[in-house]
Amino acid sequence: MRRLQIISLVLFLARASAAGPADDEYLEHVNAGKTYFLVHGNMFRATWELREAMRMSPARVEAWRTMGACFVKHGETDRGIMYLHEALRCAPENGLSHYWLGMAQINATRWGLARFHLDQSRLLLKESDFPDRATFENSIKHAEELISRAEREGASKFDLKAFGPPKVLRFEYVANLYGNPPDQTAVSAQTGQPLVKELLVAQAYDADGRLLDPSKLAFEWGCSAGLTRKDGAILAGDKPGKEVLSVTETGSKLTASQEIVILGPAVKLEISPATTTLALAQRLNLEARALDAAGHPVFIPDMKWAAVAEGGGAAAGLERADTTLTPGNFFEPHRNIFAAPEETPGPPVTVTASTESGALSATAKITVEKRKSDKLGSRARAVTWENLSLDEAMKKAAEQKKMLLVEISASWCQFCKKFEEGPLSEPRVGEALRDWLAVQVDADAHPEIVERYGVVDLPMVALLSPRGTLVGSFGNNLEPSGTDPRTTGDSFLKSLEEAKKKAPGETWEEDRRLGDVKDPGKMASLARWYYQRVRWTDAEKWAREAMKTDAKLSDEMMPYATWSAISYGRADDAVKEIDAYIAANPRSEAAPQLLFQKGLAFARNKNMEKAKAVFAEIQKKWPTSSWARKAAQAAKK
């Protein structure tokens, strides 16, 4: 734990350099980048802030070093090394840059290079780099521990000066992409404008990872049709679109390239969603985007908004919170939050967004209706919740072939609010959820859904395929750390992506199994498969088919059927079926499990005395079984 604290402190605690005052705009971007990465887990926003600082002052060290450190901590070691070498180019005697290069080389198991940079950091780190002497001393001690490790791995045998021929060429144009997608490698330029020469970074390495002296290499630049070279500069053409800039090291013939988006003037404005329905007391995030002729988002600093009710007049009850677009948040879509009234729905409302001159405009239509979904007062600014119950939302997802995000939370849950104000309010999350449906479930109002998804900690998020298969979930007993998708946008987006990748495979497997249901054994297997994926109504269907075809499967299949009935609001029917089955099969091995379900069914219907009596019967008849232990726990609850 101490080492992790040191690593984070070393990243956070880079003092202002002599190149500028501590409160200048450059350092504001650098510090914002650190905060977005370490506190919010938002690597995209951190990258944007740091690139802005590099653009403002390419010769200053702090942004290069911080970007490199962020990439190292993010797991992109080689990219981190590239930026850290640029930091040393700006300030060769900077101990923090050497420290992070040593850390990166440790990650890459290049022990000789790691030892060299850690040795340098030990000599060059200054107490003034840290908030107090204790942190400084701990950092030096940590470097010494890593040096000892590198020596044990054979670092002393490495010859720092035995440079080999180029084997790896790395190249990036370190400029920002204004708009989407949130790709940390994507960059842009304005039509007719030159690329910033100081932000064209090309580095060659030998097979052992030594950085080769650029003065001893020859680089040749290549441009696609929309880029031109003139007097040593590279200019963007007049036509918007995607272009490619490449660099070749002529001796080794190694080549690397970078795609560059050329942005033109805005020719179109659009609002998303263009048509939507709001529930009473629900909030909606409208996104307005200005696009160039190639469909890329471009910057418009001022945008006017108006909301008019059907038939004319003000949109009664539909409130709007103004948001301002600035160069600092330009990469986020322009957002306006509209809140529906608490009580009576009004007439449909047309919302218009337009440029200051009125040359470009777009409209959206909002209809307010009575609430059908759970009223939880979500603070999420990047998600529009469906005004539907979970079952209705699953049906809609199936019809529209969309993934479904289910947030199970409660009005009293403070961590739920942090989740909604954190990842669920990030524009890039809203962008990723454009093709999803999202619904909220009140854990207090729906204990059957809490049981269905095994919720033990709030908020819990279930990610469902269009067919309702559980393909991802998070939230149960996860610590609120940098890897928890409920606290960091990067982890949340990763969970969404993994669920989307998993869904087609689950659909294929389901179709395969459905095409091969020829005997009771495969019907029973299909019931188990559905149950494991929280498709309990489908599990019940095939459990009953299996029992109908082969009565010998009843002991195994009956609990699937009755549990589905209890979970989906048919508890009374389940109790009757359990009683009839046990009466007909008094020696059934499934009896303790079925009785346990019966007790839960009574509890679901608030008949606690009957529930306790059933749990006591299980403990008396099967005292050593797992169901007796579960019954004892359930009785206490």
Q: Give the per-residue pLDDT at 547.
A: 92
Question: Parallel, antiparallel, or unpaired: how do β-strands 227-230 and 233-236 relate?
Answer: antiparallel
The answer to whether position 544 is within a domain reads no
| pLDDT (tens digit per residue) in 504-542 | 999 998 898 888 888 899 999 999 999 988 898 999 999
| pLDDT (tens digit per residue) in 83-134 | 999 999 999 999 999 999 999 999 999 999 999 999 999 999 888 888 888 8
Residue 503 neighbours by CB under 8 Å, 6+ apart: 403, 465, 466, 469, 471
Q: Give the per-residue pLDDT at 136.
A: 87
Residue where a domain terminates, one of 89, 124, 157: 157
Q: How far apart are the first and last CA of the chain?
A: 37
Q: Give the number of domains in the chain.
A: 4
Alpha-carbon distance of 58 to 54, in angstroms, equals 5
* Residue 36 and residue 176 in one domain: no
- In order of 108, 426, 566, 598, 619, the CA distances from 577 in angstroms are 62, 49, 11, 10, 22
| pLDDT (tens digit per residue) in 38-54 | 776 677 778 888 988 99
| pLDDT (tens digit per residue) in 397-427 | 999 999 999 999 888 887 888 888 788 888 7
Percent of the chain with pLDDT over 70: 85
Residue where a domain terminates, one of 130, 157, 184: 157
DSSP string, 306-366: EEEETTSSB-TT-EEE-----GGGTTSPEEEEEE--SSS----EEEEEEETTSSSEEEEEE
Q: What is the mean pLDDT of residues 593-621?
A: 89
* Residue 306 and residue 225 in one domain: no
Domain that holds residue 109: 2-157
The SS3 of residue 289 is strand
Q: Give the per-residue pLDDT at 605.
A: 81
Alpha-carbon distance of 129 to 43, in angstroms, equals 24
Q: Is the pTM of this model over 0.85?
A: no
The answer to whether position 466 is within a domain reads no
Q: Give the per-residue pLDDT at 12.
A: 47
**Residue 491: other Cβ atoms inside 10 A:** 19
Q: How many CA atoms lie within 13 A of 299 on its CB side?
A: 15
Looking at residue 635, which CATH number applies to its domain?
A: 1.25.40.10
Q: Give the per-residue pLDDT at 179.
A: 46
Residue 336 reports pLDDT greater than 90: no
Cβ(463)–Cβ(499) under 8 Å?
yes
Residue where a domain terminates, one of 247, 263, 279: 263
Which residue's entry shows tokens 């370190």?
174
Among the residue ranges 270-284, 434-448, 451-465, the one predicted with the least confidence is 270-284
* Residue 145 and residue 8 in one domain: yes
599 token code pair = 């007790």
Q: What is the mean pLDDT of residues 328-354?
A: 68
User: In which band, very low, low, confident or very high, does the pLDDT at 167 lie, cut at 50, 70 and 90?
Assistant: very high
* Residue 30 and residue 98 in one domain: yes
- Nearest CA to 89 out of 78, 103, 77, 101 is that of 101
* Residue 42 and residue 148 in one domain: yes
Residue 386 reports pLDDT greater than 90: no
Q: Give the per-residue pLDDT at 358.
A: 86
> Which residue blocks in 364-488 are alpha helix, DSSP H?
390-400, 414-421, 427-432, 447-452
Which phi and psi (to 5°) does residue 513 adopt? -65, -40
Which phi and psi (to 5°) does residue 401 adopt? 55, 50
